[in-house]
Structure 1
Amino acid sequence: MKRFLPLAMALAAAACSPAPAPAPTKAAAATTQMSPDELVELRKASAQVLFWNQDTRSANFRRMDALFPGTTAKASSTPRALPKGAPLPFDEAAIDAFMKDQNVAGLMMIQNGKVRLERYGLGMTPEDRWTSFSVAKSFTSTLVGAAIADGKIGSLSDPVSRYIPELKGSGYDGVTVEQLLTMTSGVAWNEDYTDPTSDVVRLFSDPVPAGVDPTVAYMRQLKREYEPGQKWEYKTGETNLIGVLVRRATGERLSDYAKRKIVDPAGFAGDLFWQIDTGGGNTGGCCIMLRLSDYARMGLFALEGGKGQVPANWFAQAGTSHADIGVPGFGYGYQWWTYPGGAYGAQGIFGQGITIMPKQRIVFAVVSNWPVASSRKLTTERLQFFQKLAEAAQ
């Protein structure tokens, strides 16, 4: 595989929606019902996580289920074993330097189903879980594949409004499920986290009429800027729409559907926690918490084709570029980023990720606490380091 190239625009776009604010009570998390006052607090503090300092993130990224509302998919009753493979012939000092430079909490490399490298930092243990934000997008897209396999979604060419009728007459008229997955709807969107008037901020802060899904309420107001399929633009709101679509099509919460379609067949050893939005639904574009080993198991699940839970060619298509993001060698698939040499991956702010190299039969899982939400430099260095590890493994 040729060397990873600088990411430029792709890395800036790797940022995801901010997490909801802390739930005032455990009852809110358990019932997914929130009082009007709790809803106000959620909207006021929608971007709070982005402004935590590093020490706070290190503590809270492993305990978000105690701070935020959400639902849980319990661990598999038959966890997938991850046997140890031959030690990776690589300079330990270089691994230490990578861990320090990237502020890594956990790093795992699996080749041919065996663990070649496993390291922890920041006080994290193998049993701890760590939060990721936009890595959730790749989980949500996998549930689309599962719903197609189950006959709940007819086709990727179906109009989104077939499943979310409230979008008829909006900028999403004529937009297909596939165009949502590839973020090529043509609907105007601003993902600037520093702008309090941006769409990604207002999505979580604008008041919502009673009885209306918060994502649908906001997204149906947006105007079309380009014809569907013409231009890629990163939109967390659209992954949230995908989450709504899956809920409507299956009649299940995302965490419940993920339990049957991902957690159990992939053999997760720990619970999957998935945060909810102000409407009580799991947020499709954001906010899951897993063990490092279970992020790796998700990568293996994709690498091995999905254990019959998705159409036979789903991950081959999902991990192939369907959208030009303006960076040579890189692209966007079905809520997975695509890299040179046939690799693809899930990315989340503050340094979380799953990277899959099908040709080498390698999966990397990493959880970190970067000093900034998104960094071209740190992401480029991470991908380049993974390439060096992959070369050593050969």
Structure 2
Amino acid sequence: MQNIYIALTGKWYFYSALSKTYFIGQSGPGIYDLKLFPYQTITHDKTPYNIPESTSDEKELSAEENAYFESLETTSFLVLLRDSVIFEKYWEEHTPETVSNTFSAAKSIVSLLIGIAVEEGYIGSIDESVGEYIEEWNKAPYSKITIRDLLTMSTGLGWHESGGNPFSDNAEAYYGTDLEKLVLKQEVVEEPGKEFEYISSATQVLTIVLERATGLGLSVYFQDKIWSKIGSGSDAYWSLDKEGGIEKGYCCLYATTRDFAKIGLLIANDGVWKGERIVPEWYMKEAFVPADIKVKGGGDNHRYGLHWWVVPTEEDTVRYARGIQGQYIVVVPGRDLVVVRTGHKRASDYREVPPGFDDFPESIKPQIGHPGDLFVYLKVAMRLADQE
């Protein structure tokens, strides 16, 4: 019956998905999937930056904290305070040299490249129609969608976002071989610019915009404008849909934990790296302000800026990128903190906070729309920082 459905719908990617999951002992996408797909290499900085180490006493996770981290199959946890490493731990086979997948945390990096492309004149404005850069969408109803609508996840597009359904649009995007065709054929089902609805296709359309506007592939532009300028110590890799194909911009950037932390440092330093402005100042001011839209189902948006998640707090707005299975790059400007966590699982309930971790300070109370484990990592990082 399943084979008949595949034949009728043309979802032949399903067999590729089987070969890359169940046949190798996985139930779905994994953080070490790099060699399962073609990829583009992103060359590291010629003068790598070694993040300074704290000179204070070595810190440890409590038994309770470590048990929680292990319950979610954490592979790395790194905390920087005032640009110095104050805690770093790796689990399982993960080491400081291991590259792993950002999954959707890559979306936030694509956002930075959009700001840079506007500053360089490749894109006129984030309020321009996407149809100015994608000829196939230079017609109604697609021409109503702006680059800002893509950045704020308010596209009105009818994409099926699911991390578990093997026949979802997301599954075809991950395991299929014609990503551009897939995302450009999606339909507009609601008025753009009105409601927040998180869909990965929004980032993939931004990836196409960048490629067509700059004339460069996403990996090349990222290498030229960010990766080669922030002291990256290792090559990064971006998965492609096929050999010679397009990057999976909505996910699938692989790098080491310390190099992910350098993205966090760039954000913590307002888009400036060692005196050189990398991300334009105007974009940094806009990217972390909750977009003036509604959340689908009701209520104002307090959780999402320009492809960056935000948690308004008493001290400052926490800024973070996140991906499935709990990939996080977190910046807490008010505390001079950068936190990176990689692993195989994330809290299943977005408001789930385990016993013993529910006495949060007022500054980081869990909020709707954010995974509960994020706040545990924040609390642990703040505890470690208080020991400095």
Quick check: TM above 0.5? yes
CA distance in 2, matches of 1:361, 1:247: 34
CA distance in 2, matches of 1:47, 1:338: 36
- The answer on whether the counterparts of 2:53 and 2:84 sit within 8 Å (CA) in structure 1 is yes
Map Cα deviations across residues 311-356 of structure 1 (whole Å, 9 max, x no partner).
Answer: 1132332122114446888411111111131002111111211111
Q: Does 1:385 align with 2:374?
A: no
Q: Does 1:344 align with 2:319?
A: yes
1:292 counterpart residue number: 257
- The answer on whether the counterparts of 1:268 and 1:294 sit within 8 Å (CA) in structure 2 is yes
- The answer on whether the counterparts of 2:20 and 2:36 sit within 8 Å (CA) in structure 1 is no
Gaps of 5+ in 2: 1-10, 354-370
Which of the numbers 243, 247, 267 marks the counterpart of 1:282?
247
Counterpart residue type for residue 155 of structure 1? S
Q: 1:119 to 1:345 in 2, by over 3 A?
A: same
2:208 counterpart residue number: 244
Which of the numbers 336, 343, 356 marks the counterpart of 2:331?
356
Q: 1:373 to 1:66 in 2, by over 3 A?
A: farther
Secondary structure in 1 aligned to 2:280? coil
CA distance in 2, matches of 1:156, 1:181: 9
Q: Does 1:218 align with 2:182?
A: yes
Residue 171 of structure 1, CA deviation: 3.7
Map Cα deviations across residues 209-267 of structure 1 (whole Å, 9 max, x no partner).
Answer: xxxxx42x333433333222111111111111100110111111111111111112211
CA distance in 1, matches of 2:83, 2:195: 38
Secondary structure in 2 aligned to 1:339? strand
Residue 70 of structure 1, CA deviation: 0.7
CA distance in 2, matches of 1:47, 1:134: 22
Q: 1:124 to 1:227 in 2, by over 3 A?
A: same
Which of the numbers 367, 372, 390 marks the counterpart of 2:342?
367
Q: 1:91 to 1:188 in 2, by over 3 A?
A: closer
CA distance in 1, matches of 2:57, 2:299: 35
Q: 1:301 to 1:324 in 2, by over 3 A?
A: farther
Secondary structure in 1 aligned to 2:339? strand
Which of the numbers 86, 97, 108 marks the counterpart of 2:67?
97
CA distance in 2, matches of 1:118, 1:360: 18
Alpha carbon RMSD of aligned pairs, Å?
Answer: 3.0
CA distance in 2, matches of 1:237, 1:303: 28
Q: 1:55 to 1:157 in 2, by over 3 A?
A: closer
Counterpart residue type for residue 311 of structure 2? Y
Map Cα deviations across residues 86-144 of structure 1 (whole Å, 9 max, x no partner).
Answer: 35766532442233122111100111101111011012111111122111111111111
Gaps of 5+ in 1: 1-39, 209-213
Q: 1:151 to 1:224 in 2, by over 3 A?
A: same
> Which has the larger displacement, 78-87 or 195-204?
195-204
- The answer on whether the counterparts of 1:148 and 1:310 sit within 8 Å (CA) in structure 2 is no
Residue 305 of structure 1, CA deviation: 2.0
Task: Tell me the TM-score normalised to structure 1 length.
Answer: 0.79
- The answer on whether the counterparts of 1:77 and 1:264 sit within 8 Å (CA) in structure 2 is yes
- The answer on whether the counterparts of 1:171 and 1:187 sit within 8 Å (CA) in structure 2 is no
CA distance in 1, matches of 2:175, 2:73: 31
CA distance in 1, matches of 2:17, 2:294: 30
How many pairs align?
347
Counterpart residue type for residue 239 of structure 1? T
Which of the numbers 305, 314, 321 marks the counterpart of 1:333?
305
> Which has the larger displacement, 64-73 or 342-351?
64-73
CA distance in 2, matches of 1:194, 1:91: 32
1:306 counterpart residue number: 271
1:7 counterpart residue number: none
2:289 counterpart residue number: 320
Residue 194 of structure 1, CA deviation: 4.1
Which of the numbers 16, 33, 36 marks the counterpart of 1:45?
16
1:19-30 mapped onto 2 (5 Å cutoff): none
State the identity as a percent. Answer: 27
Residue 276 of structure 1, CA deviation: 0.7
Counterpart residue type for residue 210 of structure 2? V
CA distance in 2, matches of 1:170, 1:220: 13
Task: Tell me the TM-score normalised to structure 2 length.
Answer: 0.80
